[in-house]
């Protein structure tokens, strides 16, 4: 049993390594959108990271992103609200939040695939593990971009 648990985690780590170039791109993209200022960019990124790391349920992460997107809806109808769009900014024809939700869907799909091979594993726990690896990769690139821009 323990050997099979080790195997599934090794497979998830290999998957995360394969996804690293995509995660790197996400980190760069998030830096472009949020910037590196403490009051906006770092705050948004730290909040996302905190949700991913502490979420007891996988869908809490998606719910957080959707909530952030919803807060930015229709800023023109609320003139007293900031009109800055982060989560709903369009990048290559898609909203930033939607791109992140698509990433989460891919992680969940991989978790379900692994759970078929390791039926003793809960796919949602596997997805949480994958999401935590994903956010570490994204945050590392975001912070790296921040360091490069502050040179």
pLDDT of 150 higher than 80: no
Give the pLDDT of residue 38: 74
Count up the domains in the chain and report the number: 1
Look up the domain containing 72 and give its range: 2-149
Percent of the chain with pLDDT over 90: 78
Q: Where do runs of H (alpha helix) occur along 1-151?
A: 2-34, 43-54, 58-71, 96-117, 123-149
143 pLDDT more than 80: yes
Per-residue pLDDT reduced to its tens digit, 92-123: 899 999 999 999 999 999 999 999 999 999 99
pTM: 0.89
Burial (Cβ within 10 Å: 0-12, 13-18, ≥19) of residue 74? exposed
């Amino acid at each position: 049993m323990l050997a099979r648990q080790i195997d599934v985690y090794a497979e998830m780590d290999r998957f995360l390594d394969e996804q690293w170039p995509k995660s790197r791109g996400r980190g760069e993209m998030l830096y472009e959108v949020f910037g590196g200022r403490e009051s906006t960019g770092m705050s948004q990124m730290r909040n996302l990271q905190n949700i991913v790391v502490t979420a007891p349920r996988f869908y809490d992460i998606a719910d957080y992103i959707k909530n952030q997107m919803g807060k930015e809806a229709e800023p023109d109808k609320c003139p007293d609200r900031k009109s800055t769009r982060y989560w709903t900014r369009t990048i290559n024809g898609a909203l930033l939040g939607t791109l992140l939700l698509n990433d989460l869907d891919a992680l969940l799909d991989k978790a379900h695939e692994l759970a078929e091979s390791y039926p003793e594993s809960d796919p949602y726990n596997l997805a949480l593990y994958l999401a935590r690896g994903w956010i570490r990769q994204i945050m590392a690139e975001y912070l790296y971009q921040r360091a490069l821009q502050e040179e």
